[in-house]
Chains A and B, each alone.
Chain A
Amino acid sequence: MPKDELKKYYDMLELPSDAPLRDIHNSFLRLKKLYSGDSIVLAPLGEEFSEKKRKRVLEQIEEAYLKLLEAKKDAPSRTALLFSDGHEPEDGAERDKIGDAPLTGPSLRKLREKAGVDLNEIAKEMKLRMELLKSVEDEKYEALPEAIYLKVHLKNYASFLGLDPVRVTEEYLRRYQAWKEKTVPTEK
């Protein structure tokens, strides 16, 4: 994406152009809430604040959010972005090491916390139960739904955090399946 186009999206989310992923999430959630409801900050604008204009602002905020997530995804390592506050690490080896760490439940939690994202934010945004997300991070496999459902949830979770959804689901499900085979012997 060209630099000035990127800047436009950062401006829309009221962020500096080097804002880390965490700030992009937080700004998005804050602005979405502000322009979705009837805030006492909007009420006094009267005729200057038309419904049409408000909807347009909301659309722009959502567009900016999606574009910025996408832009972050194009970067060499999404995981590294989370670790380094949006600045790419100088040392490529270091970046790969972080990027290749096995993605377990606890390591996902670490990434999320590094990004400064609250579980209940994800729960709200992705319309998921908190308990479910907690179980994912705790690897409480027995509390998790069938793989086909779990896959969808994991994809949502990963993309919210700007992680690679394919890698997250694959690695997580591999461990989940391994557990399942051990504990619930499948009938042959």
Chain B
Amino acid sequence: MTQTTKVREGEIWAVGGGKGGTGKTFITSSIGTYLAKKGKNVVLVDMDIGGANLHSFFGISRPLKSLTSFFEMGASLSDLVVKTDLDNISLISGDVHSISADKITFSQKLKLFRQIMKLNAQNVIIDLGAGSHYNTLDTFLIADRMVVVLVPEVIAIENMYHFIKNSLFRKVKKILKEYGFKEIVQHIWDRRQSYGINNIRELIDYLKDSFSYIGTILDHELAAFKVHLVLNMVRNNNDILLGASIKSVMMKYLGVPIQYSGYVEYNDAVWKSVRERKPFMINYLATGCAKEIEVLVENVIKGKEVSLPGGY
């Protein structure tokens, strides 16, 4: 059995994207709240070790339990679930001070993934935090629904490209490792200049062309690599259109198909709700933001995309 084999019924979402402060935690909490209101049983997992604040979005100041017990005492994940004030939704806090994300060992990571997959919930939603550390990418890759959040600005876009490219690179490595071709990817990548390979797409194409057996495997396994893009803090139609441009560039330059699943307007109500320590999707349901979150969740579930403004 492989690490990505899923022994569970629920569905895992992961929310990342590279850059800090783009709204990952806000989006995670809002997706969760919306699904819970639809009657799903939801557990949120805060994997932003060191920067954990998901609990604040539910008005919880200091969570009684956190992943600290998992890393230090070997507590089981299902015992660390904390209730929120809302029905159907609880969370596991990442409020851990004794360990930093990059100190998590390989076996801890595998154990964590196994237990996340076994959580008793219809929807598990993981807040990945910022950055593209390989532990973050690996967590991203266990999800059924991979969501990246970005804002319409160049650094966020840059970090997001990096995040997705590296996720795909790790995914390819992982797939080939499972089939017993562990070293080949890194070997070729390290010599990419002499092979004339410029990016992950060209690497994949090279592998496919050179080893038809690997090609078949990659085609099959990579069909499931579907990233959902969410553009947060948009202020006008041009911002919204950026999502379509990013999708185009991802495909034409990196050969990576992504879904432009949704956008969320910039709205002062977001920080107000954080300050008031009340869940956004409960207190500000009438805002455009809340509607857009509903649309984006439905789009992700149904595999639909944003309909572009201005007849595009």
Contacts and interface: CB of A to CB of B under 8 A. Distances in A.
A44 B154 contact: yes
A7 B242 CA distance: 25
A139 interface: no
Contact of A30 (B155, B198, B249, B312): B312
B251 interface: yes
Interface stretch (A47-55, A154-162, A179-187): A47-55
Contacts of B199: 48
Nearest to B249: A41
Interface string A19-49: 0001000110011001000011111110111
Contacts of A39: 245
**Which of the listed residues A22, A39, A41, A118 has the most CB atoms from chain B within 10 Å of its own CB?**
A41
B253 A48 contact: yes
Contacts of A30: 241, 244, 312
A42 B249 contact: yes
A44 B312 contact: no
Most buried by A among B154, B158, B249: B249
Given A30-B244, A116-B311, A43 B154 contact: yes
Contact of B312 (A27, A41, A47): A27
A178 to B, nearest CB: 35
A57 interface: yes
A164 interface: no
B261 to A, nearest CB: 16
A88 interface: no
A43 B171 CA distance: 26
A22 to B, nearest CB: 8
A173 to B, nearest CB: 30
A58 B198 CA distance: 20
B251 A41 contact: no
Contacts of A26: 311-312
B250 to A, nearest CB: 9
Contacts of B241: 30
Contacts of B161: 44-45
A118 B153 CA distance: 29
Contacts of A62: none
Among B153, B241, B253, B254: residue with most chain A CB under 10 A = B253
Given A26-B311, A40-B154, A44-B161, A14 B198 contact: no
Contact of A41 (B155, B242, B254, B311): B242
Contacts of B247: 14
B252 interface: yes
Nearest to A48: B199
Contacts of A116: 311
A116 B311 CA distance: 7
Nearest to A22: B311
B157 interface: yes
Given A44-B158, A48-B199, A34 B248 contact: yes
A179 to B, nearest CB: 33
Interface of B: 153-155, 157-158, 161, 198-199, 241-242, 244-249, 251-254, 311-312
7 contacts: A31-B248, A40-B153, A41-B242, A44-B155, A48-B198, A48-B253, A118-B311
Which 8 A-B pairs give the minimum distances between C-beta atoms?
Answer: A44-B158, A41-B245, A40-B154, A48-B199, A34-B245, A26-B312, A116-B311, A41-B249
